[in-house]
């Protein structure tokens, strides 16, 4: 069996991995890009950055491993959901991508929510409620505010679809990445016509539907030349990044729980059917594992909260890390936090820097530090950030436990899993062992396993996981920390519940202010 490549297009970077036919990692690469925020509620990106980063990443891993492109047999792509790109009939981007973090479609979300029964929405799409994040809301915003663009776009593509088209020339989408678009019926596995009607969109302007793990086609000549690969390479639709990440840590059957602390915090639990949560609170995705679904509570700012703190208050650590090979500013910040006792000596953070999703669903929520005294220093603030993400994790684990998705351990992946301190805090807060696996990026590894199955390197995903996944570390809960964390967790919950009404009040414009006009449309 030849070599396999996994590509995961995340919110702020594209990660690429090169693996051998047995699923062993040979080289990985991460290329970051800077999101653009022309207004506080808007988050955009030039779509060409996705493609250019993929090309650079593939060439980089081949060079690092000393491998020949001609030895690659298959490549699988997964991506973030919701982010949407309008393109021409030839696949050229007509405007910046509206990134999933973008909240410009607040009015459109409210309009759609007023017309759709929540129970009907959840039964069809697996989405608990309507917020500006979802793709359908962004499409309606374009229809309202840039009708020329909405009319002229031949297709509206999610990031995975944009890259698959560049690779193969086909406009193909898959069930996993569409799970949070509000456009897809996860039970009938077809487009959800009631939503298409509401936003006046024909299904012909979306991609051809396939299931995750499907071979879409082979590389077209222009893509093969750019990547340094042969046209015989099979291209596989990997799915939503969270589902691919679950595959990458072996979370492919019921009874397994995983979490990813990347930019966002997400929790994944494999399930057999889409209608297991009678409360209608828990997001349900189509899994990248065949004939399966995934409970996937999402918190928009997980590791991004620590990134925000580093960028604005960690200048000293960034400067020190620049002069030390193999050391990151994150490492230096968590070293500060290690000296602070559990509970951060009364300092509590609400890490909702871009709204709150699961389980609170409060898009207007903002970040909060509470309990600051003269005795608190930067080290306490870092510790409070780490603990806040662990508290969000516990809240969502409790949500899943309440609907029967329990597990004996948590498999951790994403950038946050690189921090031993953070893993231990999560284990202590959640009173569950936290396990990490060898290798770097779980979604990339999941993509590679899906590519390997599609290419015949493995008979199925179960065999692929048994062959390729190896534990790295296990963090057992420290019972001595339980009293401090129990008190801190209750304080965290009470703080959110107490100030929740203020979030809606704070988002109102000041008296006498006028609405800022929208910028002109992207030059087409």
Residue 523 CB: number of other CB atoms within 10 A? 6
* Arithmetic mean of pLDDT, 19-35: 92
Q: How sure is the predictor about 15, in pLDDT bands with cuts at 50, 70 and 90?
A: very high
Mean pLDDT of 233-243: 95
Tokens of 274: 């889409």
pLDDT tier for residue 475 given thresholds of 50, 70 and 90: very high
pLDDT, position 506: 56
Is pLDDT at 101 greater than 90 in this prediction?
no
Q: What pLDDT score does 523 carry?
A: 33
pLDDT band at residue 284 using 50, 70 and 90 as cut-offs: very high
* Chain segment 29-52, per-residue pLDDT in tens: 999 888 998 888 899 999 999 999
For 275-293, what is the HEC assignment? CCCCCCCCCEEECCCCCCE
For 177-183, what is the mean pLDDT?
A: 96
Task: Print burial letters for 209-233: b (CB count within 10 Å at least 16), e (below 16).
Answer: bbebbbbbbbbbeebbebbebbeeb
pLDDT at 297 over 80: yes
Phi, psi dihedral angles at 283 (to 5 degrees): -60, 140
Using the predicted structure, report yes or no on whether residue 78 has a pLDDT greater than 60: yes
Average pLDDT rounded to a whole number, residues 214-218: 96
Model pLDDT for residues 394-446, shown as the tens digit of each residue: 999 999 998 888 889 999 988 899 999 999 999 999 999 999 998 768 999 99
Task: Render 285-326 in DSSP notation, one character per residue.
Answer: EE-SSTT-EEE--EES-SHHHHHHHHHHH-HHHHHHHHTSTT
Token readout for 319 is: 């400067």
The whole-number average pLDDT for the span 237-252 is 94
Which H or E run includes 44? strand 44-45
For the chain, what percent of residues have pLDDT higher than 90? Answer: 80
When pLDDT is cut at 50, 70 and 90, the band that residue 231 belongs to is very high
Band of residue 254 on the pLDDT scale cut at 50, 70, 90: confident
pLDDT band at residue 278 under the 50/70/90 scheme: confident
Distance (Å, whole) CA 17 – CA 4: 8
Return the DSSP state at 351: E
**Residue 508 pLDDT:** 52
Ordered structural domains, the chain, with CATH: 3-249 (3.30.420.40)
Q: Which two tokens stand for residue 252?
A: 């492919």
Percent of the chain scoring above 70 in pLDDT: 96
pLDDT at site 511: 41
Cβ neighbours of residue 195 under 8 Å, at least 6 residues apart? Answer: 112, 116, 125, 136, 182, 183
- Rounded CA-CA distance 265/305 in Å is 10
**Tokens 């500013």 correspond to what residue?**
329
Q: Tell me what the pLDDT averaged over the chain comes to.
A: 92
Cβ distance 78 to 239 under 8 Å? yes
Contact at 8 Å (CB) between 385 and 309? yes
Residue 507: its pLDDT value, please?
55
pLDDT at 520: 34
- Give me the mean pLDDT over the 197-202 stretch: 96
Phi, psi at 259, each rounded to 5° = -140, 150
Q: 169-178, 189-198, 358-367, 498-507 — which is least confidently predicted?
A: 498-507
Confirm if 236 and 450 have CB atoms less than 8 A apart.
Answer: yes
Which pLDDT score, from 0 to 100, does residue 281 have? 83
| DSSP secondary structure, 394-447, as one string | HHHHHHHHHTT---S-EEEESGGGG-HHHHHHHHHHHTS-EEEESSS-HHHHHH
Give the position of tokens 């698959």.
164
- Residue 519 has what pLDDT? 35
């Amino acid at each position: 069996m030849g070599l396999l490549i996994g590509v995961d297009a995340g919110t702020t970077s594209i990660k690429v991995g090169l693996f051998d036919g047995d699923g062993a990692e040979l080289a990985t690469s991460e290329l970051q890009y800077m999101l653009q925020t022309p207004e506080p509620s808007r988050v955009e990106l030039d779509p060409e950055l996705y493609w250019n980063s993929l090309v650079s990443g593939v060439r980089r891993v081949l060079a690092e491993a000393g491998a020949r492109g001609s030895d690659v047999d298959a490549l699988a792509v997964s991506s973030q959901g919701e982010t949407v790109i309008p393109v021409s009939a030839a696949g050229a981007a007509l405007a910046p991508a509206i990134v999933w973090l973008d909240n410009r479609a607040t009015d459109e979300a409210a309009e759609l929510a007023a017309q759709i029964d929540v129970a009907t929405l959840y039964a069809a799409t697996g989405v608990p409620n309507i917020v500006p994040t979802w793709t359908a809301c962004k499409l309606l915003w374009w229809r309202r505010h840039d009708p020329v663009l909405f009319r002229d776009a031949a297709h509206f593509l999610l990031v995975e679809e944009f890259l698959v088209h560049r690779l193969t020339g086909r406009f193909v989408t898959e069930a996993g990445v569409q799970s949070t678009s509000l456009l897809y019926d996860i039970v009938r596995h077809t487009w959800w016509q009631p939503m298409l009607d509401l936003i006046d969109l024909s299904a012909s302007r979306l991609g051809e539907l396939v299931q995750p793990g499907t071979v879409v086609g082979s590389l077209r000549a222009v893509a093969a030349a750019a990547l340094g690969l042969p046209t015989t390479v099979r291209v596989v639709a990997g799915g939503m990044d969270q589902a691919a990440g679950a595959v990458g840590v072996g979370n492919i059957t019921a009874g397994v729980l995983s979490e990813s602390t990347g930019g966002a915090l997400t929790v994944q639990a494999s399930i057999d059917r889409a209608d297991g949560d009678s409360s209608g609170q828990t997001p349900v995705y189509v899994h990248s594992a065949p004939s399966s679904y995934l409970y996937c509570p999402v918190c928009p700012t997980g590791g991004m909260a620590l990134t925000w703190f580093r960028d604005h208050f960690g200048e000293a650590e960034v400067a020190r890390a620049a002069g030390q090979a193999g050391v990151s500013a994150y490492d230096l910040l968590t070293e500060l936090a290690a000296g602070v006792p559990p509970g951060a000596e009364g300092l509590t953070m609400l890490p909702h820097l871009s709204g709150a999703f699961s389980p609170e669903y409060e898009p207007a929520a903002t970040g909060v530090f509470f309990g600051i005294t003269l005795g608190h220093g930067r080290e306490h603030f870092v510790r409070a950030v780490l603990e806040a993400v662990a508290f969000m994790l516990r809240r969502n684990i409790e949500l899943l436990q309440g609907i029967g998705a329990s597990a004996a351990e948590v498999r951790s992946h994403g950038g946050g899993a690189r921090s031993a301190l953070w893993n231990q805090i999560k284990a202590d807060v959640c009173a569950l062992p936290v396990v990490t696996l060898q290798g770097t990026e779980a979604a990339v590894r999941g993509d590679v396993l899906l590519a390997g199955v599609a290419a015949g390197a493995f008979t199925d995903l179960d065999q692929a996981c048994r062959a390729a996944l190896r534990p790295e570390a296990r963090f057992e809960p420290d019972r001595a920390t339980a009293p401090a964390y129990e008190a801190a967790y209750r304080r965290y919950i009470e703080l959110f519940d107490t100030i929740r009404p203020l979030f809606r009040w704070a988002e109102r414009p000041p008296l006498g202010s006028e609405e800022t006009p929208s910028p002109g449309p992207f030059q087409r």
